[in-house]
Structure 1
Amino acid sequence: MNQFSSSPILGIQGDPEMTINKENKRSTALVIGISLLVMAVAAGIAFGAIHSTLIDISQAEQTMDNLRANLSQWHMEILFWVVIIITDLLVSWGIFHYFRNENMGLSAMTAGLRVIYTLILAVAVSQLVAVSSSVQGGNTQRVMLLLTRFDRIWSFGLIVFGIHLILLSVASFRYENKILGILLLAAGVSYLLIHTMEGFLPRFSDFTGRLESILAIPMTLGEMVFALWMIIRGGKTKRKAVS
């Protein structure tokens, strides 16, 4: 007899497929949550601690001096970007499997958009890889061109990422938790607004910068709360879908 088919102590019949699916969903939730936390740490180091310290697009010579003196740190930044790409793919896989039984179409679109974003990010990171050889060759103009390309490509990718978060908010609102869905919606709309303005309304760059400072908290909070929800609650309870 299958060990999940019944409980002789409680006298309750069990569905083995339902039990296994619940266990798989819990494991998937942990993959999503842990990957998001690892990604957040990697991003904090790669962009927050290294990139923002070494790079100033408005100061070409200073940027070149920083890169020459800290090339090992630059390589470390690239390594952390690779970690981010890998964890993004894990999250994409996890989101598809986590929500597919509730809504296959929505889960596929949500995960697919994150995969597209991750591929765009990989193209952006390839510009950073090319920076290393240009720094060693002393080509300041090319270095600054590559750094500008990185910013623009990644910013375009974050438009896609914003749409992904909006779809994820729909799935979370309907099948997980309403407040979680609202936080993800706020984050998605913020990413979409900021990076659409950066890409298509450069004349308003000062306003966009101020707006980004205001929206920084909801942009960060959405995925962080989602990560914690997946680790603490994900896959443990099944909530009735909201139409």
Structure 2
Amino acid sequence: MKPRTLSIVAGVSYIIIFFAAIFANFFVLESILKAPLEIIQQNHIMVRFGILAFMLTVVFDVVVAWALYEIYKEHPLSKLSTYFRMMHAAIMGVAIFTLPVALSSNTGQEILKQVDTFNIIWLIGLFFFGIHLILLGKIIEKPKMVAFFLIVAGIMYMIDTGAHFMLPNYKAYASIFLALVAIPSIIGEMSFTIWLLVKGGKEKS
């Protein structure tokens, strides 16, 4: 494929990931955390769609990893960056296995335990995703502002994961860590997505 086509594929895949992740996280997981047994028993169809949405994020994460590798494969860090994103996708795939178990759970405590297990495994995956973002920022170089925010987001993902396991009172600072991760991540990844769709690959066409 031409670099321009690959950039569009990566950009569209990113958009699919964004929307699928937003639905799965904020409409499904958050609902389960607020009323676990009620959601599983009365709105299990939404939960099943949430699981499907998480599966789609993994599929398109792999597509993004492939497309970015093809675009930047001449860069010495491209292969390493791809490996770390693939590690993240693989770990996320493992995490998803915990969610169907929640559907067959009979108590709210069992459901919350499965969701907690999912979050822990996913959190570990985000550590490797953070490394991918740091490498990606060094690979793309331009636009410099996008590269900068990708690197910062990657560092924040790693710090947040480390803090989860190192700080006994992490919950007291959870909102601060969330902001430190979310702000550079949204700016960096959304900006990169727009750049891929608008300008990506044109200089090599």
Amino acid at match of 2:183: I
1:42 aligns with 2:20: yes
SS in 2 for 1:202: coil
Name 2:3's counterpart in structure 1. 25
Name 1:168's counterpart in structure 2. 136
Counterpart Cα distance in 2 of 1:237 and 1:90? 22
Name 1:218's counterpart in structure 2. 184
Amino acid at match of 1:39: I
Counterpart Cα distance in 1 of 2:119 and 2:175? 14
Q: Work out the percentage of aligned pairs sharing the same amino acid.
A: 27
Q: 1:149 aligns with which of 97, 106, 117?
A: 117
CA-to-partner distance for each residue in 1:57-101, whole Å, 9 max, x for gaps? xxxxx3112221111110010011111111000001011111012
1:109 aligns with 2:87: no
Amino acid at match of 2:12: I
Q: How does 1:1-243 map to 2 (within 5 A)?
A: 24-56=2-34, 62-101=35-74, 103=75, 105-134=76-105, 138-173=106-141, 176-237=142-203
Highest relative contact order (Cα 8 Å, sep 6+), 1 or 2? 2
Q: Decide which structure has greater helix share.
A: 2
Counterpart Cα distance in 2 of 1:92 and 1:67? 33
Name 1:10's counterpart in structure 2. none
CA-to-partner distance for each residue in 1:31-60, whole Å, 9 max, x for gaps? 11110011101111111222212224xxxx
Give the total of aligned pairs: 204
Q: 2:36, 2:111 within 8 Å by CA — same for their partners in 1?
A: no
Amino acid at match of 2:114: L
Q: Tell me the CA shift for residue 212 of structure 1.
A: 1.5
Q: Tell me the CA shift for residue 203 of structure 1.
A: 2.4
Q: TM-score, normalised by structure 1?
A: 0.79
Q: Tell me the CA shift for residue 184 of structure 1.
A: 0.7
Q: 1:169, 1:185 within 8 Å by CA — same for their partners in 2?
A: yes
SS in 1 for 2:169: helix
With over 3 angstroms needed to count, the CA separation of the structure-2 counterparts of 1:145 and 1:54, relative to structure 1, is closer
Amino acid at match of 1:28: L
SS in 2 for 1:234: coil
SS in 2 for 1:237: helix
Counterpart Cα distance in 1 of 2:176 and 2:149? 21
Q: Tell me the CA shift for residue 109 of structure 1.
A: 0.6
Q: Tell me the CA shift for residue 144 of structure 1.
A: 2.3
Counterpart Cα distance in 2 of 1:178 and 1:140? 47
CA-to-partner distance for each residue in 1:125-153, whole Å, 9 max, x for gaps? 1111221122xxx1444322211100100
Q: 1:25, 1:235 within 8 Å by CA — same for their partners in 2?
A: yes
Counterpart Cα distance in 1 of 2:32 and 2:121? 19
Structure 1 gap segments, 5+ residues each? 1-22, 57-61, 239-243
Rg larger for: 1
